[in-house]
Amino acid sequence: MIFAFICCMTLIGCSNSQNTNESNHPHKTDLAEVKTSTIPASIVRVVDGDTIKIKLDNSKEETVRLLLVDTPESVHPTKPVQPFAIEASDFVKKLLPVGTDVEIELGTNERDKYGRLLAYLYTNEKMVNQLLLEKGYARVAYVFAPNTKYIDEFRDIQEKAQLNEIGIWSIENYATSTGFAEKKQKENESPIACTNPEIKGNINSKGEKIYHVKGGQHYEQTKPEMLFCTEKDALKAGFRNAKR
């Protein structure tokens, strides 16, 4: 488990709470007040509103997917930029410049199927997941037990944003429980090429967009930030083929 490894291998103490029962902590306006064990890291790059590249104290780079929130798509290979996607991404980029020291609180299940860390991310004693909901840049989403520690607080925050009609909630019927409403596909548009895209798109620490196809030297170990149905889709999104 990455959390146990980092705590054992670094001299930085992990703050612990005597009681981490998710149903026992009181609702707080500032959720940083009830965070439990965290891991120190620094920002490498903000991919979009809810996906961030970090560097751990052991110099290993990881991609973090913020838990329980979903921002509109700004870099999806098969979707246009959605309303408030750029605002959400720019907000996080301004909040987390390259090199910013942060803390991550991992979910009980630490990784998703793409190998990304699932976490709550803190900067200056503020939780980024929470701030996105407060600003109306994200909806509560991907609620899967046991990664539900702050779900009640998040839903309360979202309700306030909805009532105030800010951000994504300012557009009627745009943000829903299943995602962000897309305009009907035009008759001359082609449908998505496949239902199970396998071409892996990765953006490295230098900002280079590289895609990997099955059989490539680095395909298996590559953790995708985007998936594509065809190489044409990858090229259209600004990615180049891996050299090997």
Let me know whether 92 and 129 are in one domain: yes
Per-residue pLDDT, 227: 86
Q: What pLDDT score was predicted for residue 193?
A: 53
Say what the pLDDT of residue 75 is.
82
Selection from 179, 181, 231 nearest residue 201 by Cα: 231
124: left (phi over 0), alpha (psi -120 to 50) or beta: left
Note whether 49 and 89 are same-domain residues: yes
Q: Give the per-residue pLDDT at 29.
A: 63
Residue 165 lies in a domain: yes
Question: Is residue 90 located within the same domain as residue 149?
Answer: yes
Cβ distance 62 to 56 under 8 Å?
A: yes
169 and 90 in a common domain? yes
% of the chain surpassing 90 pLDDT:
57
**Residues 151/143, Cβ–Cβ less than 8 Å:** yes
Clarify whether 65 is annotated catalytic: yes
Active-site entry in 62, 73, 87, 105: 73
* Residue 229 sits in the same domain as residue 117: no
Rg (CA), the chain: 19
- Of 146 and 238, which is predicted with more confidence? 146
**173 and 220, same domain (yes or no):** no
Q: Average per-residue pLDDT in the chain?
A: 84
Q: Is 5 domain-assigned?
A: no
Residue-wise pLDDT tens digits, 45-99: 999 999 999 999 999 999 999 999 999 998 877 778 899 999 999 999 999 999 9
Q: What is the pLDDT of residue 130?
A: 98
Quick one: pLDDT at residue 218?
Answer: 86
Answer yes or no: is 171 within a domain: yes
Q: Which domain holds residue 88?
A: 37-180
Tell me if 70 is assigned to some domain: yes
Q: Are residues 48 and 154 in the same domain?
A: yes
Nearby residues of 91 by Cβ (< 8 Å), 6 or more positions away:
49, 131, 132, 135, 137
131 membership: H or E segment, kind and range: helix 128-134
pLDDT tens digits, residue range 144-200?
Answer: 999 999 999 999 999 999 999 999 999 999 999 999 997 533 333 344 457 788 899
Question: Which of these is catalytic: 62, 87, 103, 116?
Answer: 116
Q: Is residue 141 part of a domain?
A: yes
Q: Mark whether 150 and 213 lie in a shared domain.
A: no
Q: Is 71 in the same domain as 131?
A: yes
How high is the pLDDT of residue 117?
Answer: 98
Do 48 and 161 lie in a common domain?
yes
Whether the bond into 224 is cis, omega within 30 of 0: no
* Catalytic residue of the set 45, 62, 65, 225: 65
Specify whether 73 is located in the same domain as 105.
yes
> Has 165 been annotated as catalytic?
no
Residue written as tokens 């046991």?
A: 146
pLDDT, position 183: 58
Active site residue 240: no
Q: Which residues contact 138 (CB under 8 A, 6 or more apart)?
A: 49, 50, 69, 70, 71, 88, 129, 132, 168
Decide if 19 is inside a domain: no
2-44: pLDDT as tens digits: 544 444 444 334 444 333 344 445 455 678 777 879 999 999 9
| Number of folded domains that form the chain | 2
Task: Assess if residue 13 is contained within a domain.
Answer: no
Same domain assignment for residues 162 and 218: no
Cα dihedral 205→100→94→118 (10° resolution): 70
β-pairing, 179-180 vs 175-176, is: antiparallel
Is residue 191, in this structure, part of any structural domain at all?
A: no
